[in-house]
């Protein structure tokens, strides 16, 4: 499969580098300093063993300059996809498979619920522009359990994890899921195919929708957040609200909030991706991680006072610091 990776940040760069190292045909849509860096020096990947490898990659900031691909991996922040969806048209013209590797609730999420809701989620797809550009039949669902950072343009550092989950948005099994899973496994990823990827998406969201914004608000690593009993209790109540929403949309969660936070504690003193973004002055992904939960709760009649508080406080902080449009 010929692969185009849209966005060479932490996750996109990691996926591209791993597939290139395995000998696959990979190109990228990138821009600015990242594009300049990979053109000059290749895509750098710092491995957990302390070594760094460099990978030559064809890259452009113009989608029309790239060759048609079989698979388009979208590794952008939510706001960047909304802002740049029109520019992706040349990549989508021949209807490749699209694999979003993005945090939070994807734009297609309610369209494939047990009781489908075709209305756009305004928090992640204002006006339905993404859904109009990428047909649901061309999308696969993905959940990324990988920790990476981007210390410099065109330079990715792998911290932990290789697990990826891939599945059909409508559920069930398919040959194309198996093909994509095999491709990613050849790149060294630990790939699981899911017959209910919506549930996997919601479970991951349930686990990180509180830790990410709380870390951005406080500047604290996850171990310090979990050591504070008042903060931990607040996060548990917000997670309870998200679990109640999940039960209404076909994504039930059997685990308790305290049990899930105990798993997070095992990861030690790490910085969430949102804290890394806040420290680097990058826009925060509040919409897909928190605002979407509130919006879905309103649609299905589940009150979300704790989620609302978390969204309001983090949104105000982000706007005050210029990390979110007013």
Would you place residue 326 in the very low, low, confident or very high pLDDT band (cuts 50, 70, 90)? low
| pLDDT (tens digit per residue) in 75-127 | 998 889 999 999 999 999 999 999 999 999 999 999 999 999 999 999 999 99
CA distance 66 to 310: 41
What is the pLDDT averaged over residues 143-148?
A: 94
What is the pLDDT averaged over residues 48-68?
A: 97
0.85 surpassed by pTM: yes
Phi and psi at residue 302, to the nearest 5°: -110, 115
Query: Do 16 and 26 form a contact (C-beta atoms < 8 A)?
Result: yes
Residue 325 inside a domain? The answer is no
Which are the catalytic amino acids?
A: 204
The verdict on 105 and 215 lying in the same domain is no
Would you place residue 133 in the very low, low, confident or very high pLDDT band (cuts 50, 70, 90)? very high
- CATH code of the domain covering residue 90: 3.40.50.720
Last residue of a domain, one of 131, 166, 195: 195
Rg of the chain (C-alpha set):
19
The verdict on 33 and 155 lying in the same domain is yes
CA distance 255 to 243: 9
Query: Do 52 and 157 form a contact (C-beta atoms < 8 A)?
Result: no
| pLDDT (tens digit per residue) in 238-255 | 999 999 999 999 999 999
Tell me how many degrees the CA angle 128-102-39 measures, rounded to the nearest 5: 110
What is the pLDDT averaged over residues 308-322?
A: 97
For the stretch 49-55, contacts whose Cβ atoms lie closer than 8 Å and that sit 24 or more positions apart, written own/partner, are 53/17, 53/21, 55/16, 55/17, 55/20, 55/21
CB atoms within 10 A of CB 83: 13
Domain count, the chain: 2
CA distance 285 to 277: 9
The verdict on 54 and 183 lying in the same domain is yes
Closest CA to 293 of 22, 144, 94, 110: 110
| Half-sphere exposure at residue 47, Cβ-oriented, CA atoms within 13 angstroms | 10
Whole-number pLDDT of residue 75: 97
The mean predicted confidence, pLDDT, of the chain is 96
Whole-number pLDDT of residue 238: 98
């Amino acid at each position: 499969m010929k692969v185009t990776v849209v966005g060479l940040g932490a996750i996109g760069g990691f996926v591209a580098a791993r597939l290139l190292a395995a000998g696959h045909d990979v190109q990228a849509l990138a821009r600015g300093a990242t594009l300049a860096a990979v053109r000059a020096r290749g895509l750098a990947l710092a491995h957990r063993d302390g070594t760094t490898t460099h990978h030559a990659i064809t890259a452009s900031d113009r989608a029309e300059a790239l060759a048609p691909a079989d698979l388009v991996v979208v590794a952008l922040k939510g706001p960047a996809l909304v802002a740049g969806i029109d520019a992706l048209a040349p990549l989508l013209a021949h209807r490749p498979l699209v694999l979003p590797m993005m945090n939070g609730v994807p734009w297609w999420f309610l369209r494939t619920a047990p009781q489908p809701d075709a209305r756009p989620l305004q928090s992640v797809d204002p006006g339905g522009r993404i859904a109009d550009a990428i047909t649901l039949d061309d999308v696969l669902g993905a959940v990324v359990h990988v920790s990476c950072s981007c210390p410099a343009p065109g330079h990715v550092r792998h911290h932990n994890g290789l697990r990826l989950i891939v599945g059909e948005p409508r559920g069930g099994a398919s040959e194309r899921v198996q093909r994509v899973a095999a491709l990613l496994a050849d790149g060294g990823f630990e790939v699981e195919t899911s017959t209910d990827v919506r549930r996997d998406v919601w479970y991951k969201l349930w686990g990180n929708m509180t830790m990410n914004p709380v870390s951005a608000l406080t500047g604290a690593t996850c171990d310090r957040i979990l050591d504070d009993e008042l903060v931990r209790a607040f996060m548990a109540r917000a997670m309870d609200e998200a679990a109640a929403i999940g039960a209404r949309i076909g994504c039930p969660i059997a685990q308790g909030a305290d049990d899930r936070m105990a798993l997070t504690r095992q990861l030690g003193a790490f910085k969430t991706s949102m804290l890394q973004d806040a420290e680097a002055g990058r826009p925060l992904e509040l919409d897909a991680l928190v605002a979407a939960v509130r919006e879905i709760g309103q649609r299905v009649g589940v009150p979300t006072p704790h989620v609302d508080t978390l969204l309001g406080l983090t949104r105000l902080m982000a706007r005050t610091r210029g990390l979110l449009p007013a």
